[in-house]
Amino acid sequence: MTIRRMSLAAGLVLAAVGCNNEGLLTSTPPQYKGGAMFQRYVSLGNSITAGFQSGGINDSTQKQSYAVKLSVAMAGDSFYRPSLTIPGCPPPIDTLFTASGAPHRLGGTAAPPCSLRSAPLPPYISNVAVPGATVFDPMHAGPTPSANALTLLILGARSQIQAMRAAQPTFVSAWIGNNDVLGAATDTANAGNPAEVTDTAVFRARYDSLLADIDSTPSVQGAILIGVADVAAIPYFSYGVTYFGAFLQSKLPPAMVVSANCAPRTSGGIGDTVLVAFQYGFGLIGAAAAGVPDTLDCTNAHNIDPAELANIHATVAAYNAVISARAAARQWAYLDPNGPLATLRGDTTQVRIFPNTAATSCNGTASGSPFGLAFSCDGIHPSNATHHLIAQVIVQTINATYGSAIPVTGVP
């Protein structure tokens, strides 16, 4: 990925984590029921929590993170994010479908691949989440297989746990584990490769290490653990049968053929149990539109085949069983994100089953949402509206668990 290839000056990275002891002084606890627990909130996680949208991240998308919205509702101490200068690092996609075939990013070709951190530096960081992080990463400050330029830029040679402890939180959220399956699902050479899915036993051990570090943080009074989202719920993937239907209805370029094995199982195919990644499927469509004959074969390794898809479903369920059990053992809150996502998926204006090629931008309106209103222009990361929904559901879950009264109406 682009963010893995960026190089940043070490001096700038280390300067970005400067600390001001005065910033650690706390204010009066929130006055609603149970408010003292939420006086200082810190969020751990990966790209969703960090505010990554439309294949990029900047201060504007960071502000839209559910974690920022949740902090506003909690109304505790200031919630600081590691602000990334606009146009971003990398700049988000602002138009997915263009005449050239290449997505257009904010700032165009003149924009640098990474615009670094913005001034002034916060006294501590509240949102310590890093795009690309797996369950292994929050505890490790050194280079890891998933580390990238944003790891250093956001944390400055610290781990998420170290940055969290420096902020002295009273409440934390942890949404980690999505990339332990998503990395395999989005592998452009062999999508769904089981060898790239983190083994459940390994996941369990790493997750327990993360929780042990949170447990040993003296200031923490409570937490919410958020489960792993199932990749079948994101519109970056479309079922092979959807392509097959478009082919039968002559909605694809004449030079493109979709194999009969992409038909549904009732017609002898496997298309309703095979996922086709947007990058691969629309790469074929683009080539065919240029007059290059090609074929979508649902047995091709570029697709997630039935066995691989079943493995991903089972692994996500196993991960979430671990996470929910650990939350229950600590009397912490737990949220399975797949319930709200399934509700959104039932509405094709929210989650499209096939990208809308007529979308002229990424502006969050029906005509400008290639993947539906619930997702940004990369088809993987939630839109601002979905972050709002997630924050509301988190508030409701926390209140139900702790008997608190964080105002749901306080979510911006």
In this structure, the answer to whether residues 176 and 246 fall within a common structural domain is no
pLDDT at 174: 99
- Residues 6+ away with beta carbon under 8 Å from 82: 16, 62, 117, 122, 125, 127, 153, 154, 155
Residue 62 has pLDDT above 80, yes or no: yes
In this structure, the answer to whether residues 255 and 389 fall within a common structural domain is no
**Mean pLDDT, the chain, integer:** 93
CATH number at residue 333: 3.40.50.1110
pLDDT at 254: 97
In this structure, the answer to whether residues 203 and 322 fall within a common structural domain is yes
Residue 23 has pLDDT above 80, yes or no: no
Confidence of residue 16 (pLDDT cuts 50, 70, 90): very low
| Rounded Cα distance, 228 and 185, in Å | 14
| Rounded Cα distance, 211 and 209, in Å | 5
Residue 22 has pLDDT above 50, yes or no: no
In this structure, the answer to whether residues 205 and 331 fall within a common structural domain is yes
Confidence of residue 368 (pLDDT cuts 50, 70, 90): confident
In this structure, the answer to whether residues 290 and 378 fall within a common structural domain is no
In a domain, 393, yes or no: yes
Residue 108 has pLDDT above 80, yes or no: yes
In this structure, the answer to whether residues 222 and 277 fall within a common structural domain is no
In a domain, 400, yes or no: yes
Share of the chain above pLDDT 70, in %: 94
In this structure, the answer to whether residues 224 and 250 fall within a common structural domain is no
Residue whose C-alpha is closest to residue 220's, from 29, 38, 28: 38
Q: 3-state class of 25 per DSSP?
A: coil
Tell me the average pLDDT across 300-329.
98
pLDDT at 365: 86
In this structure, the answer to whether residues 155 and 291 fall within a common structural domain is no
Residue 20 has pLDDT above 60, yes or no: no
In this structure, the answer to whether residues 57 and 79 fall within a common structural domain is yes
In a domain, 145, yes or no: yes
CA distances from 158 to 137, 166, 245 (A): 11, 10, 50
How many domains are there within the chain?
A: 2
pLDDT at 24: 60
**Lowest mean pLDDT across 15-19, 307-311, 312-316:** 15-19
Angle at CA of residue 138, ends 391 and 129, nearest 5°: 35
In this structure, the answer to whether residues 143 and 91 fall within a common structural domain is yes
In this structure, the answer to whether residues 168 and 91 fall within a common structural domain is yes
Q: Could you list the residue range(s) of the whole structural domain that residue 133 is in?
A: 2-8+34-234+306-410
In this structure, the answer to whether residues 86 and 116 fall within a common structural domain is yes
In a domain, 17, yes or no: no
Angle at CA of residue 112, ends 108 and 113, nearest 5°: 100
Tell me the average pLDDT across 272-295.
97
- Residues 6+ away with beta carbon under 8 Å from 296: 240, 243, 247, 256, 257, 258, 259, 262, 276, 281, 284
Tell me the average pLDDT across 13-41.
71
